[in-house]
Structure 1
């Protein structure tokens, strides 16, 4: 069910009460992506133990959809292996949120991109260790 501006109840829940907000000091992986067109900026921090995302936090500056997708992507990735988390797509994020208005679909791109960037950062650091 969507409200009059096209947001599902689930989007509104994640916007009003986002999960996993914050920063992980000295994260194992860090991803930062932005969209110069709309001004949204997302940062994702991950803590990895034995190839599993043990903890994940985000900091997002942007619209309600950007906050909701950041919250949802962290929920989807927490407890997953790095390989499983790399498979999370923009469509997965939007589907779990029960849809986004078409003009806000780019937000789910940013959320998935920030997650993937954090994982790539972790993998790069591991190669150098």
Structure 2
């Protein structure tokens, strides 16, 4: 693998070497309102996010990870994004995308963009947990999604996220999701969507949403 595939922006390097808002105490000592965990140490990447909420805004964001430089930098910059200016609203925070995180990092190597997915997924899980603890329904969770594979209830967004997590060909996508393995009616549409997302995210060695 050539060295230029691993080129990071100065902002990524800064957040990796000086990460912001890491949880430096045991979680039992941190009075959080919501916790979200994604990934697994066995797979090499795991992210845990803790949030404090006040007046429906994220007043504090702490995190821990077992991950690479991109995962660390992505979550560090995410922690700044949601806590600046008095805290981001839960609604806006729930809608944060990997593309927004990557843009705030001034780009990521295309082969590392899957790392930016960890933070936003864990953040959404933390917000879900917050509402669950409040015994309320999360009003920001989109229940009206476009389903591509009805057999396995796989949405268009599920496919996009799988591509962001490294599923760059149909064989990988199918192995992960079983999409198209039952009736097969969704295969053509799935392959079209897959190509669309791969072309978008992996067309250059360095991906930056500002270029789209």
Assess same fold via TM > 0.5.
yes
1:124 aligns with 2:125: no
Q: Given the alignment, which residue of 60, 63, 82 partners 1:58?
A: 63
28, 33, 38: which is aligned to 1:33?
Answer: 38
Moved over 4 A (4+): 35-38
The structure, 1 or 2, with the larger RCO (C-alpha pairs under 8 Å, 6+ apart) is: 1
Please tell me whether Structure 1 or Structure 2 has the larger radius of gyration of its CA atoms: 2
1:1-129 → structure 2 map (5 Å cutoff): 4=4, 5-22=6-23, 25-34=30-39, 38-78=43-83, 79-127=87-135
State the SS of the aligned residue for 1:119: helix
The Cα of 1:51 is off from its aligned counterpart by 0.5
Cα separation, 1, equivalents of 2:108 and 2:119: 13
User: Contact 2:41–2:66 (CA<8 Å) still a contact in 1?
Assistant: no
The SS at the match of 2:32 is: coil
CA distance in 2, matches of 1:118, 1:72: 17
CA 1:54 to 1:66, structure 2 compared with 1: closer, same or farther past 3 Å? same
In structure 2, stretches of 5+ residues that fail to align are: 137-212
Equivalences, count = 126
**How high is the TM-score relative to the length of structure 1?**
0.90
TM-score norm. by structure 2 comes to 0.56
